[in-house]
Amino acid sequence: MSDQLLTVEQAAERLGTTVRFPRRLIAERRIVFVKVGRHVRIPEGALADFVAANTVQPIVTRRQRLGVVA
């Protein structure tokens, strides 16, 4: 395994959120996680995949394609 395993606190810090958010993702099974005994860890790759899957691209309007400034 090449991914570093992050604690919930480390994952929250990387996401720029409170600890509650990654805990909710884990409880709702919306992110991959690893249980090590009673500890929960999130692989770095899973965190990157979650961010990529939830990234919303901006809409390019016709005006923007033509370079029209409002």
Cβ count near 44 (within 10 Å): 15
What total number of domains does the chain contain?
A: 1
**Residue 70 has what pLDDT?**
58
**Residue 14 has what pLDDT?**
96
What range defines the domain where residue 32 resides? 5-66
Question: Mind listing the pLDDT tens digit for each residue in 19-68?
Answer: 999 999 999 999 999 999 999 999 999 999 999 999 999 888 777 677 76
State pTM to two decimals.
Answer: 0.79
DSSP state of 6: E
**Residue 60 has what pLDDT?**
81
For Cα atoms 67, 58, 60, give the angle at the middle one, nearest 5 degrees: 30
3-state secondary structure at position 52: helix
